[in-house]
Every structure is written in structure tokens, then in C-alpha cells.
Structure 1
Amino acid sequence: MIRRLLVANRGEIACRIFRTCRDLGISTVAVFSDADAAAAHVEQADTAVWLPGNTPAETYLRADLLIEAARRTDADAIHPGYGFLSENAEFAQAVIDAGLTWVGPPPAAIETMGSKIRSKKLMDDAGVPVLTELEPAAVTDDQLPVLVKASAGGGGRGMRVARSLAELPDTVAAASSEAASAFGDPTVFCEPYLERGRHIEVQILADEHGTTWALGERECSIQRRHQKIIEETPSPMVDPEMRERLCGAAVAAAEAVGYVGAGTVEFLATEAGRFYFLEMNTRLQVEHPVTECVTGLDLVAWQLRIALGEPLPQDGPPPFDGHSIEARLYAEDPAHDWQPTAGHLHRFEFPSPAACFDRPQRYGLRVDAGYRSGDTVSTHYDAMLAKVITWAPNRGEAIARLAGALGEAHLHGVTTNRDLLVRLLHHEEFRAGDFDTSFFGRHGLETLASPLATPEVQRLCAAAAALSDAAVNRTKVADLAGLPSAWRNVPAVPQRKEYAVGATTIAIEYQWTRGGIQLEGFDRLRVVDFGPALVTLEVDGLRTTFTVATYPDRVCVDCSAGAVTLERINRFPDPAEQHAAGTLLAPMPGTVTALHAADGDAVSNGDPLITLEAMKMHHTISASDDGIAEIKVVVGQQVDAGAILAIVAERTDES
């Protein structure tokens, strides 16, 4: 038996594994970096071990520190979660050599499948369909477009599309650099890029006694930057005949490498029903909850049982029930090239879920989150905040429940992709199941990434914020508490509040009258009730209640038509906070990894100037105008959000 399990990971997946351990009576050990000292997974573990430092290289990627932590806490097993060292064969072997139980597949299987180049050759030999591997230097015009991929790792990192031979060298270099940063291996290769492909994967479980289960397919085609954001099972495009072929190929892939444990075989499929092997993830997947919902299995529990040598039941996997869909909620701004965001989570609440890290007893909502209200989102790790999962009798109900749950969530603090997810779930192409990996490329973000709250709703939210502020101010003035609301000893003058919503400024004016408070400039609007936290407004006889939360740096207003974050505009701004035209600011905290221009270089609008690394991704800062570059940072420098990175000065006659 396993008495004490160390999870060599953080955040949501560590919390998920701890939940199963509690059910099985297994004591738990967490590890944590400086940045994670107050994280949820640290509090939920029975024991926690500090790993000094912040970056993954200092902490969660240090195999020696993780094994030492297991020794110090008398743990007898290690679960790697996903990401970090979960697909590192050397770490798996080191755990085994230390006399600990490794909750994962054999190191040899990890090593074989860890190289996409080697694994594709092995799959071809095993009769699993594969796409042709192309050497980057040998790609020809008639083979374009191609997908440049990192040989090691996954998750969309080190993966880019090249559509011309001219751009291929730079694309290969960028993918190689990102792969080296993410996985420590710069090796990349190319394969044909299918513009309208579907990303379909099969969940498998295999024991050490020769039994392998294929637990159906998951549809993962809605992606940004080659990273999944919506996953569901079953796939709306897969019929029973194709499902049988997919599951057969997945079992053949697993058996070809002597696989044991939980894993996922990923395929790229066409609408014609053909599919090709992409890779095998030799670990638990982020999207495993949808499979748990429709099968009733606890995949983490089965990982633990299989690690102890327990066989899978001979009567085969359980029957599937209903439809499950998962949305990944990220701290990012889709409208600005999916830019990750970091900072304080003032409020992070969902409608009462039926389960957390567990299958609901019956159809309902499940939320797997590694963050809570009051937590800080760090730039050192992945930007995913939570997985929101619904399970329903059919796909339509699962989609409706998920859109509703996301829309009702209170997400105050960092910018998230929530509004985009809701718009996507309501998109008729998605609802029809007629989509592919190019969904965002074809539809663009102009509408999909726009706020759910219309300009008129934003204005009403600003009015609610102003009324909330008025209610707070009135309660602070104790001497006026007993006076009539319209009493004044000077002529009434409207009060003015200004708020910013993105690049838009909204001005609200109100004044106290004999009949109560009145908003200026709003037709057919009546203030029904208002207080510090709740404001009810009526427009043309239709009432809406607004929930208002005020924080030092913002006001967050939620209503049934959307959520709006308002920034107060200071009537007397500090001149020191003003920046010259052409100033480029860091959009998020990060590390400068590359400079593409030097002081004095002439640059044009859109030219790349600086590359920042944050939340495990590279982000390019480009010139916003033509001019002369003044670079204010150096490679390796850590910068805060809002730091000046460069100034593109207007060209003079001399320059």
C-alpha cells in the first residue's frame, strides 16, 4: 500500500490528487516555491516542503530536491501530476532507484514517447497512421504549410506554423528557442499542417498484467496558440465506427511501448474520418475530468492502484453516460494576442458547484481550481486559473450549463478569457459541432474577444458604481444621517465620477433632489434602490440588479448582461505617471529574453523590438509607430508590469 504520497507539482493538479488521497486514506505531501508559499495546494496537504526559489528551474524541475523532500517526509511514493517532470524518464528512474513507488508509466515508455521523432517511427512500424516527418532544411514549396514542433514536451510550446519558405528559418529558430526554454531540448521537426484538422485524443488505462482499456475519445480542437481551451467527450464528429478505429489505434500505440498506467494518445483527424498519430502524453491530462464524468472512474485512484500492481477488471471499462465538456479559464487577455495577466485575485467564486475535483453524484457542475479569492497569480507558472466542467445527458445541455456557470462567476482582479469562452459556447458553429483547430484563425477575435457587456451595459455598470460610491459616502457622514435626502445649505451641484473601461472613458453625473438621487443623461431610467454592494436600476420597466465590489485599484460590477471592471480616473493625475508618446510599457511582469533592435536603430510600426518571457510563453513587444528606438532594458532583466521597455522617438531631420 501507499501510506504517504508526495505530489511533485503545484496548483490545481496537486489539489486534485490530494482529493483522491483523502478518499483512499493516503497521507499527502506538497512541495512549494517561494511564490507558492500561501497557495491552496500547500494548505490542503498534510505536510509541505519548501523549495527555495521561484522559477521552475529552481524548484519544481529539481529532481534531487523532490526526492530529498520525499525522504525527509517519509513518503513512499511520488505522483508527478502533469507538466514539469511528469514526462521526464530520468526523474521516473531516479524515483524508482530511490526505492519509492513511481505513480506513472515505465521510464522506457516515457523516454520512447517523449521524442516525437522516435515515437512517430515506432507508431508507423506498429501500423498506427502517422503524418510524414519533414526535415526543416529540406521542406519544399509544395509541402507548405508546415507545422514546426518541438520534439520534446507539448502543451503548444515550441510549436509554430510556417506558410512560406522565406519565413521558415525564423519560425524554426523561434520554436527551437521556446522549446529549449520550456523543455531543455531545442530539437524541432516539421510535418504537414492540416488547416482544417480536428484534434482528437483517446484516454487509456493499462495495467502490468497485459490489459489495456481505451476510455473513449475527447474532442480538443478549440485551441489558441496550439493549446487547448475547450475539451469534451464524446466528440461530435466521431461515429461508432470511427471510435472503434481510434480506440484500436490507441491500444496498439500503448502496447507497442509496453505502456502501464494512465495516458493519452493524440490524433489529428479529418472530416472524412481519417486520422494520424500526433503524440502520446505519458501522464494524466489536464482534461481528464470529462472522461471521469462520463465513465464514473477516478483516474487518479486507478493510477495509484496500477502503480501497486492491481489489475484492471476483466469485464472491461464501464459504459459511458451522457456528455461532459470542460473550459479552461485562463488569466489572459484574448483581445490583446492572448496576453497573460498576473496580479491579485480579489474575488474568485463560481455558482455553487455540485463537486470540486470529483465527479458530481448526478449531472451538474464540477470546478477544479488551484486558486481562491485573495490569491496572487504569479508570472512564473502557467496562466490557467481553473477548469470548469459540466456533465449532462446530452451535448446541448452540457454547453448551456457551462456557459451559464461561467457567466455567473465572480472573477475580480486579473483579466480572464471568461467572456470569450461564453461567446464561443454560444457560437452556432460550435453548437453544431462543425469546427476545427483553425476556429479562431477563421473567425478572428474582433467579436469573440469583445466583452459580453455592451457599451450601454457598461454605462449602466458605471452608474451603479457611482451610486455605490454615493451610498458609501453618505453613510460616512454621520451628521447628515437624520436629514432629508434633498436638504442642502448651498445650491445643488451634480457630482461627477469618471471611469475607464479599456480605452473608453465613461462620465457619470448625479445629484440629490427632493425625490431622491437622480442620474443625469439617462433616458427612461429610474433608480429603484442602491447601497454599497447592490444597486437596482429600472430602464423602460425592466429591472436589473448590479453587484458592486470596490477595491483599491478598481470597481467590479456584475450583472446578468455581463461583468465590467472599471478603473477610477483621478481628477488630478500625477504628472510623473504620464509617459511620452511612443513609450512601450511591459504588459505583464516577465523576463527580457531577446532584443531585436538597438539604441538608435530606425524602426517601423510593427517591427519586433523585445521578447518577454512570462507564464511559460514568449511574447513579442513591437514598435507602435515609425521612429528611432531607445531600448531601456537588457537581456535577462526582470521587469514589472508597466515598466518602460523602450521609446520609439519621432525621427528628426538629422535622423
Structure 2
Amino acid sequence: MRTAKKMGVKSVAVYSEADRNSMHVAMADEAYCIGPPPSQQSYLAMEKILQVAKVSAAQAIHPGYGFLSENTEFAELCKQQGIIFIGPPSSAIRDMGIKSTSKAIMSAAGVPVVEGYHGEDQSDECLKDHARRIGYPVMIKAVRGGGGKGMRIAHSEKEFLDQLESARREAKKSFNDDAMLIEKFVDNPRHVEVQVFGDQHGNAVYLFERDCSVQRRHQKIIEEAPGPGISPEVRRRLGEAAVKAAKAVNYVGAGTVEFIMDSQHNFYFMEMNTRLQVEHPVTEMITGTDLVEWQLRVAAGEKIPLTQEEILLQGHAFEARIYAEDPNNNFMPGAGPLLHLSTPPADRFTRIETGVRQGDEVSVHYDPMIAKLVVWAEDRQAALRKLRYSLHQYNIVGLSTNIDFLLSLSGHPQFEAGNVHTNFIPQHHDELFPTKKATPHEVMCQAALGLILKEKMLTDAFRDQSDDKFSPFASSTGRRINICYTRKLSLLDGENIVDVAVSYNQDGSYKMQIQDETFLISGEILKEGDSLYLRSSVNGTVSKSKLVILDNTIYLFFPEGSAQIGLPVPKYLSAVSSGAEQSGAVAPMTGTVEKVFVKAGDKVQIGDPLMVMIAMKMEHTIRAPKAGVIKKVNFQEGAQANRHAPLVEFMDEEAESK
């Protein structure tokens, strides 16, 4: 929409009821609701979208990154109804969308491919035989897959059928097709992809490569361009192979040819994404292009704006995907409100690609991505420094995010050295997920100071509005009715209660004591824009942090990290019973129950699958937290369960023993 505005083209948004107040609706010149939140009834409803195109007299449809962006039938319907589909011809989507067909076409075009089975026979036995022939580990992939959906790795024959069944279920849900292919799994490969562009005049170019190796759940989280350590010779061969691939299917528009690369920089065709990629901004940053503008121009029949020789590579760019998820809980996605959201300032070298604002909700219905943070600098080291600096300025309160994890990842020595591969996170797990240390006492004092000064702000505001200037409630000096010069604050550092004894000094400073340590503290709250900052001096050391106090939690964002300090809630106010999980299994997040494996009376062992839930476009297997007998299953297949809802209840041990 930004590019369309820049080009003087009107834009029309479609939205589901869940997205009524979303940013893309506000940005568009016109917007139309196309149905309820489930994507099958809205964003995947082709006829509804085409109806909006007709009503709004739109000449073209840009399908974005997901949903119908690689759907042959939708591209065909657009063509039949005289609406331009801003993407390749439906034949290219079909040929490249079916992985078995695409491998055969690539092989014939002279593009190197990985050994695998892409045949018609989809019986368990046939697929298992081919996996044995290819040799474990093997990758099981949905033939029509994409975005890490319907994809599993089987490391041995023992786990093959379980992984196959899980991949089929997810593929059926995501693509309505559970046909699978089997491929040799290249150990510790790099994921390197090439941006290609074709026009309707037979021209095709490449805009260099992106390295998207660092992934979790087969989904990218940090992408960069160009690929670290790739020589100009390998870069040229990659680009030429990608152009060959595009020309083999008469490709038009933006596309990405994905390769896996081994440690010797040999590369093999993996698949082609017949759309614009989520990570296309890193390519734009190093080539000085606007690929969406190219898409619109090429869709209108123009030639590609630049020749291959005119496309120059300059500098280095990174993209970090900021997700609503908990890296410490196996990257479990989570929905929720963005109670506080502040970002680094955007400029020519820092882009914030987002669809949300402060106060918006990350919906349970769609992908948990909040934003993409994109930075550019003259070289890789400078770009990496800029990425880390900007991540520190990306502050979110209200739900779990992966920002601290991205900081940990981008600061890892092996990442800094460019030694990236798809197994990076599991391989460096211990360094990327360090054991949480106790918060330093100096930081606990800063949290206490922030709380006291925020109270002072509120009492000052009360005094200014109050008629009774002598009310003890309008005093913020610590000298109130029944309050002496010293008070005790109890703060929560994780599960641990930390007691802070605070003495108010005559000069407005404070003496704070934690255990046998004493600190002299002073400071003030500053307002900058919509944000509050705490400037504090702790035993003479001055620092400045962003301060957010919400929902019994004090958040401090420092230039070098962040801290989250809780205020203990009395037991009688605590909503969630700590014993809930012991007596059964609870929903880790809001979602739909897809499959139920157990019934009342069944005996289960710890770790046995109880049910499968679908939430935020992902499948989650709920497993037994302990061995026991099922007392009750609270949700049937197709039912919606809220976060923390008890899914399955166990017999208590006394009942079992009887």
C-alpha cells in the first residue's frame, strides 16, 4: 500500500472480522469485510475476494505473502474474470508448487537437485521403502507445502510413520492436500535463496542471494543479504542457476529460488516460492530497489526496470522477525494485546515492516509475527551492530516476544563469524538459552525507585486536582498518616521475593537495603514523547532506562538489556490454581482441538499424546504430564479451547488405587 500510494495507485483492502481495526484497513483507500475470522471463510474465500475486486472496480489483486499467493486456482480465476493477478502465470505456480514436478523440471533444465522420492504411490509402505533406500535422516515434505508447514524430519525408521502422519495432518489443514515427498536430509546445510524477477517479454534477472539458514520450526527468524562467506564466483553460479529455473517455467514477476548449500558451497535446488517473500526487504536494501514497484510495473506489461548488469550489490542488510512467542517454551506462539509498543526510529537504513500499533491485539487466528526489523550498513559487522542496537530499542509489553532471543542469537560468536546453518539453534542451544541468573540488586533498587517515583507522579497529580492541599493522601514525601520514614517493598524476581527496605532522605534521595547491601539512590522520571524514562543514580553510577509499569509488573529497558520485576499478588487474588496442571493437562494457548487420542478410563504413560491442537497456523501435540488414568476429556474434536483451560482430567491417585 505504501508503494501504491507512492506510485499514485489507489489500494483496496479486504479484511476478516478479526482484523476490522487493523493497520492495513486504516491504510487503504477503501476496505471491505469478507467474513468471519477463520481464514477458510475469509482470506481463503476466492469468490468473496473477486466480488470485492468487481465492486471496487479494482484492476489487479496483489496476493501478499500467504493465503492465496501461491494458489493456481485463484490465479486462474483472476485471469478468467479479467483481473490481473500480481504474480506469475498459473502454470508456473502449478509446476513449482508441486515439489515433485518442480524437481523434474529443474533437473531437465540443468539445475542441481537433491536425491529423493516424488512419486504417485503415497502408501505408507512405499514411502517407508524409499526413505530406507535414500538413507536416514530424511525430510518428509508436503508436496504442496510452504512456510515450514507439513514438514518433518525422520531420523530413523522407528519414528518415520509418526512423523509422516503428523506431516500429512498439517498439510491437509494448510493446503487441503496431504501428498508427501521424501528427500535426503543434508546435515547442517545452509538455506540460501536467490531473488529472481521475470517480465512478460521473456527477460529474467537475479538480485543476488539471501541467507536464511537460522531457523526454528523450519521457519526463518533472521535473514541477511548477501550470504556471508559466499564468493563472487559461487554468487554468479547461484544467480545463473536461479534464472535458468525461472526461465524453465516462463516466470513473470517476483520469485525466489531456494537452494540448500553444503559446507563446500555445493548447492542443490530445493523449491521455488512463486511470490514475493517475507524477507524481500533485505534484497531491496542491498540493491536500492522497490520490488513491489517492480511487481506493479511488470504486471502492467512493462519490462524489468534494470538489466542484469545494472543491478549492483552494495553493503549488507539483516532482517529480524519479531514474533509473539516464548523461546523458552519451545517457541510456543501466543496471542495477546500490545499494551506498550515502542520501536527504533525508522530512517533510510532502518525499516520497520509491521501491521500492528500499540493497543492492537495479536490475534489467535493468524501468524504470530509482529514485525520485521530491517537494517542496512556498509558491511556485515556494521549491519550486525546496527541490528543489535535497534533490537534493544524495540520494546514490547503485553505478551511474550522473541526479542531477547534475537539479541542472544545475533550476538553469538559463531553468528558474528557468519558460520550459519539450519541446525544453528539446536547446536548452540546452551549458549542461546543460558540459565536465568538472579537480577542484580542495583536493578532491583532501580525498579523500586521507578515504582516510588511513579507513585509520586500520581500523588502530585492528585494534589494538583484536589481541593484539600493538606490531605495526607496528597503527600508524596513518605511522611503520611501511619507511615514512617522507612517502608518495606516486596518485589518479585521470577519466583523469588526480594525485600527492599527504603528510607526517605530529606534531600529527596533514598537509602535502600537488600539483605546486607546498602545503596544510595536518587533519580527522576522523564517524559519523552509517549514514553517514560527513569534516570537514576545508584551509588554514584548514573543510568537511563525506559520505564513501563503495567499489570503488577515493572519493566525496565536498558541500552544493554531489560528486566521484568513483579509485584507479589496476594494469594486470595491469584486467579490460576497452581495445582491445575498436576491433575491433568491444560491448553498451552487458545486454539481448536483437531484430534483426540484418549477417552475416560484410558491408562496413559508420561509423554503419551492426549490430543492435537491447532493454533496460530501451527499444530501442537498435548502430552500427558504424568502417568495415570483418564477421568474426563473436556473437549471434543472441532471445539475451541481457551488458554489454561483444563483439556484432560486425571483420576486422583486414591481413586486409581481403588
Fold-level similarity (TM above 0.5): yes
Structure 1 match to 2:529: none
Structure 2 match to 1:11: none
1:142–1:127 distance in 2 versus 1, CA, 3 Å: closer
Structure 2 match to 1:24: 7
Match among 270, 292, 295 for residue 278 of structure 1: 270
Which stretch of the first structure deviates more once superposed, 261-270 or 557-566?
557-566
**AA paired with 2:320?**
A
Which stretch of the first structure deviates more once superposed, 218-227 or 314-323?
314-323
Structure 1 match to 2:204: 212
Q: Distance in 1 between matches of 2:533 and 2:307?
A: 56
Q: Distance in 2 between matches of 1:310 and 1:448?
A: 50
Structure 2 match to 1:130: 113
Q: Distance in 2 between matches of 1:128 and 1:171?
A: 29
1:421–1:499 distance in 2 versus 1, CA, 3 Å: same
Structure 2 match to 1:300: 292
Q: Is the 8 A contact 2:325 2:334 kept in 1?
A: yes
1:595–1:495 distance in 2 versus 1, CA, 3 Å: farther
Which stretch of the first structure deviates more once superposed, 19-28 or 125-134?
125-134
Q: 2:435 matched to 1:443?
A: no
1:234–1:334 distance in 2 versus 1, CA, 3 Å: same
Deviation at 1:347, TM superposition (A): 1.8
* Two-structure CA RMSD over aligned residues (Å): 2.4
Deviation at 1:189, TM superposition (A): 1.5
Q: Is the 8 A contact 2:459 2:474 kept in 1?
A: no
Q: Distance in 2 between matches of 1:484 and 1:586?
A: 44
Match among 48, 71, 81 for residue 98 of structure 1: 81
Match among 640, 643, 649 for residue 642 of structure 2: 640
Q: Is the 8 A contact 1:462 1:506 kept in 2?
A: no
Deviation at 1:459, TM superposition (A): 3.1
Structure 2 match to 1:536: 535
1:504–1:122 distance in 2 versus 1, CA, 3 Å: farther
Q: Distance in 1 between matches of 2:20 and 2:621?
A: 31
Deviation at 1:550, TM superposition (A): 2.5
Which stretch of the first structure deviates more once superposed, 513-522 or 447-456?
447-456
Q: Distance in 1 between matches of 2:306 and 2:360?
A: 45
Q: 2:379 matched to 1:394?
A: yes
Which stretch of the first structure deviates more once superposed, 78-87 or 341-350?
341-350
Which stretch of the first structure deviates more once superposed, 99-108 or 460-469?
460-469
**AA paired with 2:324?**
A
Match among 61, 64, 83 for residue 66 of structure 2: 83
Q: Distance in 2 between matches of 1:641 and 1:419?
A: 24
Kindly provide the CA deviation profile for residues 110-131 of structure 1, in whole angstroms up to 9, marking residues without a partner as x: 0110101111111111111111
Deviation at 1:141, TM superposition (A): 7.4
Match among 355, 363, 370 for residue 355 of structure 2: 370
Which stretch of the first structure deviates more once superposed, 53-62 or 599-608?
599-608
Q: Distance in 1 between matches of 2:456 and 2:365?
A: 40
Deviation at 1:606, TM superposition (A): 2.6
Structure 1 match to 2:568: 569
Q: 2:88 matched to 1:111?
A: no
**AA paired with 1:395?**
R
Kindly provide the CA deviation profile for residues 258-308 of structure 1, in whole angstroms up to 9, marking residues without a partner as x: 111110000000111211111000000001001101111110111111111
Please give the secondary structure, in 2, of the residue aligned with 1:520.
Answer: strand
Match among 294, 306, 310 for residue 302 of structure 2: 310
Structure 2 match to 1:8: none
Q: Distance in 1 between matches of 2:437 and 2:8?
A: 44
Kindly provide the CA deviation profile for residues 430-473 of structure 1, in whole angstroms up to 9, marking residues without a partner as x: 01011210001111166437779955576345424532454256
Which stretch of the first structure deviates more once superposed, 645-654 or 266-275?
645-654
- The within-5 A match list for 1:354-503 is 354=347, 360=348, 364-444=349-429, 447-448=432-433, 454=439, 456=441, 459-460=444-445, 462-472=447-457, 474-475=459-460, 476=462, 479-480=471-472, 485-487=477-479, 490=482, 492=484, 495-500=487-492, 502-503=494-495
Q: 2:599 matched to 1:616?
A: no
Identical positions, percent: 37
Structure 2 match to 1:601: 602
Deviation at 1:338, TM superposition (A): 0.5
1:51–1:455 distance in 2 versus 1, CA, 3 Å: farther
**AA paired with 2:653?**
R
1:565–1:59 distance in 2 versus 1, CA, 3 Å: farther
Match among 526, 535, 539 for residue 520 of structure 2: 526
Kindly provide the CA deviation profile for residues 398-439 of structure 1, in whole angstroms up to 9, marking residues without a partner as x: 010011101122211111000010111111000101121000
Deviation at 1:586, TM superposition (A): 2.1
Which stretch of the first structure deviates more once superposed, 584-593 or 285-294?
584-593
Structure 2 match to 1:342: 335
Q: Distance in 2 between matches of 1:569 and 1:611?
A: 35
1:456–1:68 distance in 2 versus 1, CA, 3 Å: farther
1:453–1:31 distance in 2 versus 1, CA, 3 Å: farther
Q: Give the aligned length.
A: 630
Q: Distance in 1 between matches of 2:592 and 2:451?
A: 39
Match among 60, 63, 67 for residue 46 of structure 2: 63
Q: 2:231 matched to 1:239?
A: yes
**AA paired with 1:433?**
G
Deviation at 1:529, TM superposition (A): 1.6
1:352–1:534 distance in 2 versus 1, CA, 3 Å: closer
1:483–1:380 distance in 2 versus 1, CA, 3 Å: closer
Structure 1 match to 2:186: 194
Structure 2 match to 1:12: none
Structure 1 match to 2:29: 46
**AA paired with 1:350?**
T
Structure 2 match to 1:7: none
Please give the secondary structure, in 2, of the residue aligned with 1:221.
Answer: coil
Could you state the TM-score of these two structures normalised by the residue count of structure 2? 0.90
Deviation at 1:165, TM superposition (A): 0.4
Structure 2 match to 1:154: 146
Deviation at 1:30, TM superposition (A): 0.2
Q: Which runs of 5 or more residues in structure 1 are unaligned? A: 1-17, 355-359
Deviation at 1:140, TM superposition (A): 1.2
Match among 315, 329, 332 for residue 325 of structure 2: 332
Q: Distance in 2 between matches of 1:180 and 1:482?
A: 63
**AA paired with 1:321?**
Q
Deviation at 1:551, TM superposition (A): 2.7
Structure 2 match to 1:654: 657
Which stretch of the first structure deviates more once superposed, 451-460 or 513-522?
451-460
Please give the secondary structure, in 2, of the residue aligned with 1:92.
Answer: helix
Which stretch of the first structure deviates more once superposed, 366-375 or 507-516?
507-516
Q: Distance in 1 between matches of 2:387 and 2:186?
A: 29
- The within-5 A match list for 1:548-563 is 548-552=547-551, 554-563=553-562
Deviation at 1:148, TM superposition (A): 0.9
Match among 229, 250, 255 for residue 258 of structure 1: 250
Deviation at 1:572, TM superposition (A): 4.4
Deviation at 1:146, TM superposition (A): 0.6
- The within-5 A match list for 1:219-238 is 219-238=211-230
Q: Is the 8 A contact 1:95 1:101 kept in 2?
A: yes
Structure 1 match to 2:123: none
Q: Is the 8 A contact 2:522 2:538 kept in 1?
A: no
Q: Distance in 1 between matches of 2:379 and 2:608?
A: 48
Could you state the TM-score of these two structures normalised by the residue count of structure 1? 0.91
